[in-house]
Amino acid sequence: MYTHLRLFFTTALVVATCLFNAPANAAEPTQHESGGVAEGINDQEHKIEHNLEESEEKFDIGSMIMHHIADSHEWEMTHGVTIPLPVILYSADRGIEVFSSSNFHNEHHEYNGYHLVHGESEQIVPVDESRKIYDFSITKNVASMLLSAVILILVFTSIASWYKNNKGKAPKGFQSAMEVIILFIRDEVVKPNVGPKYEKYLPYLLTLFFFILINNILGLLPGSANLTGNIAVTMVLAVLTFIIVHLNANGHYYKHLVKPTGVPAPLLLIMIPVEIVGVFMKPFSLMVRLFANITAGHIILLSLFGLIFIFQSFVIAPVISLFALFLNFIEIMVAFIQAFIFTLLSSMYIGSAIEDNHDADLGH
């Protein structure tokens, strides 16, 4: 299995480099649409660039951190080593356009009528401001997500094949290590919280746990994307849980919303809005918890590393490095804990919506 993974990574890397560098090296005739708007944007762009260069000289720790946390159209492994990623744009008039982000590597950060605006986060804007575009680019986060998806699928299908090929044998090696986690999720998290009908939700919850876990851990690697610290990602996860809960919730759950048990009639006026707000607060808290925990961890680590560059001292750097090492260990723990908590709360959330007897007021 390890050889498979290695083979996959090597080929993927080679293919990616070849694909995205080819158009960059080809001599592209740069389009110059001389227009007032374009000039204005160019000016702004230059200003931002200038600011960035200036701040790079001064070492602006804030922008460094933001640059590392935010998404990007290219994957910067380290300073100077950058993998360009495909840009996919959709606009009503031009349809779908696909090109490499390395095309923006020119003086004006402009290609084919689009600008790559560096700011707090990268954004592609059309030179012609009246056009509306939708950016479906394979950004750094999307690429990292695809990578994690491939890792997950390879790892777990190989484990699954172990079960098929070694029926009746004692668990062994990597499969045995994963089995412990799978059993923990099944027996300690899903089974007691979801209830007797847990098997229907087990695949989703297991995927949820391992997806968050692997992306938390990948996010800790140097030069990687901050996927689970991105609010779009946590939002999708939380919304999926929300949808699953409300597709499967029983009558008790909905009745409880409009008529909470044991509440006197005058209080209903307050309780019903509170209940309804609570319904949306749960996924919202799921979304914010994961996003904030991971992002905060990254910010703390990056701040520490930034301190090294601010002080530029041989005395302070090792101390800070040690501290950063310690925090890295804590972040690894947080990676597990946040994956666990997200799965646990999703399980409780599903369990409280499908349980038959709604007397126990879970999650309030």
For residue 141, state whether it binds another protein (rule: CB under 8 A): yes
Q: Which is nearer to another protein, 149 or 325 (CB)?
A: 149
Instruction: Give the chain's length.
Output: 364
**Dihedral angle, C-alpha 30, 33, 36, 41, nearest 10 °:** -30
In this structure, are residues 110 and 104 in contact, taking their beta carbons and an 8 Å threshold? Answer: yes
Nearest approach in angstroms of CB 152 to another protein is 6
Nearest approach in angstroms of CB 327 to another protein is 20
For residue 350, state whether it binds another protein (rule: CB under 8 A): no
Q: Which is nearer to another protein, 160 or 263 (CB)?
A: 160
Strands 133-135 and 95-100, by their bridges, are unpaired
For residue 71, state whether it binds another protein (rule: CB under 8 A): yes
Residues facing residue 74 across a β-bridge? 84
Nearest approach in angstroms of CB 91 to another protein is 13
Q: Residue 216 contacts by C-beta under 8 Å, 6 or more apart in sequence?
A: 228, 294, 334, 335, 336, 338, 339
> Which H or E run includes 115?
strand 114-117
In this structure, are residues 134 and 89 in contact, taking their beta carbons and an 8 Å threshold? Answer: yes
Strands 114-117 and 110-111, by their bridges, are antiparallel
Residue 236 CA to its chain's centroid (Å): 10
Binding mask 150-169 for another protein (x = CB under 8 A): --xx--xx-xxx-xx--xx-
- With CB under 8 A as the contact rule, the residue among 72, 100, 102, 137 that binds another protein is 137
For residue 263, state whether it binds another protein (rule: CB under 8 A): no
For residue 121, state whether it binds another protein (rule: CB under 8 A): yes
- 86: nearest Cα among 32, 46, 14, 135: 135
For residue 285, state whether it binds another protein (rule: CB under 8 A): no
Q: Which is nearer to another protein, 17 or 166 (CB)?
A: 166
For residue 284, state whether it binds another protein (rule: CB under 8 A): no
- With CB under 8 A as the contact rule, the residue among 145, 238, 245, 307 that binds another protein is 145
Give the DSSP letter string of 14-28: HHHHHHHHHHHHS--
Binding mask 229-258 for another protein (x = CB under 8 A): -xxxx-xxx--x------------------
Strands 123-126 and 133-135, by their bridges, are unpaired
Q: Which is nearer to another protein, 193 or 256 (CB)?
A: 193
For residue 67, state whether it binds another protein (rule: CB under 8 A): no
| Rounded (10°) angle between helices 265-311 and 231-248 | 160
CA distances from 232 to 139, 171, 173, 203, 267 (A): 13, 38, 36, 22, 37
For residue 117, state whether it binds another protein (rule: CB under 8 A): no
Residue 10 CA to its chain's centroid (Å): 24
Distance of alpha carbon 186 from alpha carbon 39, whole angstroms: 59
Q: Which is nearer to another protein, 69 or 320 (CB)?
A: 69
Determine the residue type at 74: E
Using the rule CB under 8 A, give the single segment among 117-125, 252-260, 274-282, 318-326 that binds another protein.
117-125
**Contacting another protein within 168-207 (CB under 8 A):** 168, 179, 182-183, 186, 199, 202-204, 206-207
Q: Which is nearer to another protein, 119 or 260 (CB)?
A: 119
Interface residues with another protein (CB under 8 A) are: 66, 69-71, 88, 119-121, 134-139, 141-142, 145-146, 149, 152-153, 156-157, 159-161, 163-164, 167-168, 179, 182-183, 186, 199, 202-204, 206-207, 210-211, 230-233, 235-237, 240, 295
